[in-house]
C-alpha cells in the first residue's frame, strides 16, 4: 500500500533519515519504536508529506505522492493522522472538528457528516461531548476524538505519531483500546509509540529505528524476545 | 465664581446655539464616523490579506519557495516599511495634494480620499497585528487541518484565522481607537470633520474652551462606545475557551 524508496530527510546539515526503503502492506499494523531523535516521527510525517523528503520517493495506493504534480490534499484525504498533542481545532466544537473536512471537501452533506460524526462518537463513548469545545475535554477524550476526526474521512491507512505520549497515565488505556478496536477491524496502521505492550499485542511487524535508519525489524516476537542487533538489545533493556 | 459661570454660559451659547452652530458637531460626528468606519473595513481587508501573504511566505519550507508569493511578500514588506515609516498626516497631504491633485474638492471626494489614506495606513498596522496572531497559533492546528485533506487556504480560513482573530482582538480594538482619533487630521485637507467643526466655531466666535472640550468629550464617548462593542465581541468569541 505504501512503498517508501530510498527516503532521505535533512534539516540543514542534520541527516534525520538516511536511505529508508520500506513497504507497508494493506492490513498491516506496523509499530515503529526507537530512542528519541531516531527519526521515527519524521519518518511517519514523511508518509503524508507533512515533512517534505529531501530525496527518495513514496508511493501510496499506486500513486507516487512525492512527484511534483501530485495533489497532496487529495492524497491526505485517504491517510488519517493522529498527533501526539491531539491538535483538535480549538475554535470548533467536537462535532464540528469531525465534520469540518468532510463538509468543506464536499464529500458529505452536512446531515450525512453529522450522522457519521455521531455514529463514530458513539463508538468511542463520547456522544455526550458532541457540542463541547476541546478545552473542556481531558487528554484521553481529546485523543479519542482526534482518532474519530481522522476516521470520518474513511482513510485507507492511519498514521499515529506517539498518540499516548502526552497523556496522563490513567488515560493511556482508553486511547489504546480504541486503537486496538481499529486494528481488529482491519485498518492499516503505522504507529510510532513507546507503548511496548501495545506493540507486542497489536503489531504485525515492529520496526526498530535508530540514527535515521531502520536497524532491525520483524514480528513482535522476534524483535522483543530475540533481538539480533546490539542497539536493539540496548534500547529494549532500557525500556522493558 | 459667578464670573466664570457667566463666561461659560456665553461660551456654550456661542458654541452651540448661535447661528445653529451645533450643526458643525452633528455633521462633524457624521463625517468622522463615516471616515473611521470605511477606513476600518478597508484597512481590515487589506491588513488580513497582507498578513496572509507574509505568513504564507514565511511558512514555506526553505527549499520550496513559491516565486509569485515571494514577489508579493516583497511588495508587502515595502508597503509596511513605507506606511509605518512616514507620518499619517504626510500621507494624507500627499494623497490629496499630489496624487489626487486637481480633483474637485467636494465633500464626497474628500471623504473618499481620507478613507483611502486611512485605510491604507491602518492596513499596515492591522497586517502586523494579524500576522502576530497567525504566528501565535500552534503549528499543530495547521498540520491537523492539512492532515485531513484541507488545502492551505481552507485550513487558514476555517481553523487558523478564526483563532488568530480572537487572540488579536484586544490589539485590533486598540488600532480602531487610534484610527478613530487619528481621523482628526483630515482637517489639513479641509474635510469638515468633528475637529474641523470646532476649529471653525473657534474662528467665528473666538471661543476655544467650550468647543474644544466639547469635541474632546465627544471623541471620548465614541471611544467608550467602541470599547464596549469590542468587549461584547470578545466575550462572544471566548465561548470556546470556557472550561
Query: Which residues of chain A make contact with B163, given a CB cutoff of 8 A?
Result: 90-91
Nearest CA in chain B to A151: B148
Spatial CA neighbour of B232 closest among B221, B224, B243, B242? B224
**Chain B closest CA to A120's CA: distance in Å?**
16
Helix (H) or strand (E) holding A19: strand A14-24
Query: Which residues of chain B make contact with A73, given a CB cutoff of 8 A?
Result: 146, 149-151
Taking phi first (over 0 means left), then psi (-120 to 50 degrees means alpha), and beta for anything else, what does residue A70 get? beta
Over residues B166-221, the pLDDT tens digits come to: 999 999 999 999 999 999 999 998 888 888 888 888 888 888 888 899 899 999 99
Asked if A33 and A190 count as a contact pair (C-beta separation under 8 A), the reply is no
**Chain B closest CA to A22's CA: distance in Å?**
22
Beta strands in chain B (DSSP E): none
Q: With 90 as the cut, is the pLDDT of residue B8 above it?
A: no
Q: Grid coordinates standing for A225?
A: 524476545
Please count the other Cβ atoms lying within 10 Å of the Cβ belonging to residue A214. Answer: 22
Report the pLDDT value the prediction gives residue B62, as an integer from 0 to 100: 66
Cβ of B61 under 8 Å from any chain A Cβ? yes
CATH number assigned to the domain comprising residue B183 = 1.10.3720.10
Over residues B132-159, the pLDDT tens digits come to: 999 999 999 999 999 999 999 999 999 9
Q: What are phi and psi of A188, to 5 degrees?
A: -75, 130
The DSSP bridge partners found for residue B2 are: none
Instruction: Please give the span between the terminal C-alpha atoms of chain A, in angstroms, as a whole number.
Output: 31
C-alpha span between B32 and B180 (Å, rounded):
8
Residue segments in chain A with a per-residue pLDDT below the cut of 70: none
ipTM for this prediction? 0.92
Over residues B48-98, the pLDDT tens digits come to: 999 999 998 888 776 677 888 889 999 999 999 999 999 999 999 999 999
Pick from A85, A101, A133: which is nearest to B148 by CB? A101
pLDDT band, very low/low/confident/very high, at B236 (cuts 50, 70, 90): confident
Look-up: residue for cell 483538535? Answer: A88
Q: What are phi and psi of A140, to 5 degrees?
A: -65, -40
Q: Grid coordinates standing for A196?
A: 511496548
Asked if A89 and A134 count as a contact pair (C-beta separation under 8 A), the reply is yes
Task: Tell me how many residue pairs between chain A and chain B have CB atoms under 8 A apart.
Answer: 83
Helix (H, G, I), strand (E, B) or coil at A217: strand
Helix (H) or strand (E) holding A160: strand A157-161
Radius of gyration of chain B (CA): 22
C-alpha span between A116 and A105 (Å, rounded):
15
Helix (H, G, I), strand (E, B) or coil at A50: coil
Print the domain residue range for B81: 2-241
Q: With 80 as the cut, is the pLDDT of residue B160 above it?
A: yes
- CB pair distance less than 8 Å for B242 and A133: yes
pLDDT band, very low/low/confident/very high, at B40 (cuts 50, 70, 90): very high
Asked if B8 and B210 count as a contact pair (C-beta separation under 8 A), the reply is yes
Query: Which residues of chain B make contact with A146, given a CB cutoff of 8 A?
Result: 144
Q: With 90 as the cut, is the pLDDT of residue B240 above it?
A: no
pLDDT band, very low/low/confident/very high, at B242 (cuts 50, 70, 90): low
What's the per-residue H, E or C state across B114-151? HHHHHHHHHHHHHHHHHHHHHHHCCHHHHHHHHHCCCC
Report the pLDDT value the prediction gives residue B243, as an integer from 0 to 100: 58
Nearest CA in chain A to B162: A91
The model's pTM: 0.84
Cβ-proximal residues to A48 (8 Å cutoff; 6+ apart), any chain: A75, A76, A79, A81, A159, B147
- CB pair distance less than 8 Å for A85 and B140: yes
Q: Residue A87, class by beta-carbon neighbours within 10 Å (0-12 exposed, 13-18 middle, 19+ buried)?
A: buried
Domain count, chain B: 1
Q: Residue A54, class by beta-carbon neighbours within 10 Å (0-12 exposed, 13-18 middle, 19+ buried)?
A: middle
Cβ of B140 under 8 Å from any chain A Cβ? yes
> What is the separation of C-alpha A190 from the centre of its chain, rounded to a whole number of angstroms?
5
Amino acid at each position: 500500500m505504501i512503498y517508501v524508496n530510498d527516503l532521505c530527510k535533512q534539516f540543514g546539515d542534520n541527516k534525520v533519515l538516511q536511505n529508508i526503503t520500506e513497504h507497508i502492506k494493506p492490513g498491516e499494523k506496523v509499530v515503529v519504536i526507537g530512542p528519541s531523535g531516531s527519526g521515527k516521527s519524521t519518518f511517519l510525517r514523511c508518509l503524508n508529506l507533512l515533512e517534505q523528503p529531501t530525496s527518495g520517493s513514496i508511493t501510496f495506493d499506486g500513486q507516487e505522492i512525492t512527484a511534483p504534480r501530485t495533489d497532496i490534499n487529495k492524497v491526505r484525504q485517504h491517510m488519517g493522522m493522529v498527533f501526539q498533542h491531539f491538535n483538535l481545532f480549538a475554535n470548533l466544537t467536537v462535532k464540528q472538528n469531525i465534520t469540518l473536512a468532510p463538509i468543506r471537501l464536499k464529500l458529505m452533506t452536512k446531515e450525512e457528516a453529522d450522522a457519521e460524526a455521531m455514529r463514530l462518537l458513539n463508538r468511542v463513548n463520547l456522544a455526550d461531548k458532541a457540542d463541547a469545545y476541546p478545552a473542556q475535554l481531558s487528554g484521553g477524550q481529546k485523543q479519542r476524538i482526534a482518532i474519530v476526526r481522522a476516521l470520518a474521512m474513511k482513510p485507507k491507512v492511519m498514521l499515529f505519531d506517539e498518540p499516548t505520549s502526552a497523556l496522563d497515565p490513567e488515560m493511556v488505556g482508553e486511547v489504546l483500546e480504541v486503537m486496538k478496536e481499529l486494528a481488529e477491524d482491519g485498518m492499516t496502521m503505522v504507529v510510532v509509540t513507546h507503548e511496548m505492550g501495545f506493540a507486542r499485542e497489536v503489531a504485525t511487524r515492529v520496526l526498530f529505528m535508530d540514527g535515521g535508519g531502520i536497524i532491525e525489524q520483524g514480528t513482535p516476537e522476534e524483535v522483543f524476545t530475540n533481538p539480533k542487533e546490539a542497539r536493539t538489545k540496548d534500547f529494549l533493556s532500557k525500556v522493558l | 465664581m459667578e464670573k466664570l459661570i457667566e463666561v461659560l454660559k456665553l461660551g456654550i451659547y456661542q458654541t452651540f446655539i448661535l447661528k445653529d452652530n451645533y450643526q458643525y458637531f452633528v455633521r462633524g460626528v457624521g463625517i468622522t464616523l463615516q471616515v473611521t468606519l470605511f477606513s476600518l473595513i478597508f484597512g481590515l481587508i487589506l491588513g488580513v490579506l497582507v498578513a496572509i501573504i507574509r505568513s504564507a511566505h514565511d511558512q514555506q519550507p526553505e527549499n520550496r519557495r513559491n516565486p509569485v508569493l515571494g514577489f508579493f511578500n516583497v511588495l508587502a514588506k515595502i508597503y509596511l516599511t513605507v506606511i509605518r515609516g512616514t507620518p499619517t498626516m504626510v500621507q494624507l497631504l500627499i494623497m490629496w495634494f499630489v496624487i489626487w491633485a486637481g480633483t474637485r474638492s467636494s465633500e464626497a471626494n474628500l471623504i473618499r480620499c481620507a478613507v483611502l489614506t486611512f485605510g491604507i495606513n491602518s492596513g499596515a498596522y492591522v497586517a502586523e497585528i494579524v500576522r502576530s496572531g497567525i504566528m501565535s497559533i500552534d503549528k499543530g492546528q495547521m498540520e491537523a487541518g492539512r492532515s485531513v485533506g484541507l488545502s492551505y487556504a481552507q485550513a487558514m480560513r476555517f481553523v487558523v484565522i478564526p483563532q488568530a482573530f480572537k487572540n488579536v482582538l484586544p490589539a485590533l480594538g486598540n488600532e480602531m481607537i487610534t484610527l478613530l482619533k487619528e481621523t482628526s487630521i483630515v482637517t489639513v485637507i479641509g474635510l469638515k470633520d468633528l475637529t474641523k467643526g470646532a476649529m471653525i466655531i473657534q474662528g467665528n466666535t473666538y471661543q476655544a474652551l467650550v468647543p474644544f472640550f466639547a469635541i474632546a468629550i465627544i471623541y471620548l464617548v465614541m471611544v467608550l462606545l467602541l470599547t464596549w462593542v469590542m468587549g461584547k465581541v470578545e466575550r462572544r468569541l471566548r465561548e470556546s475557551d470556557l472550561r
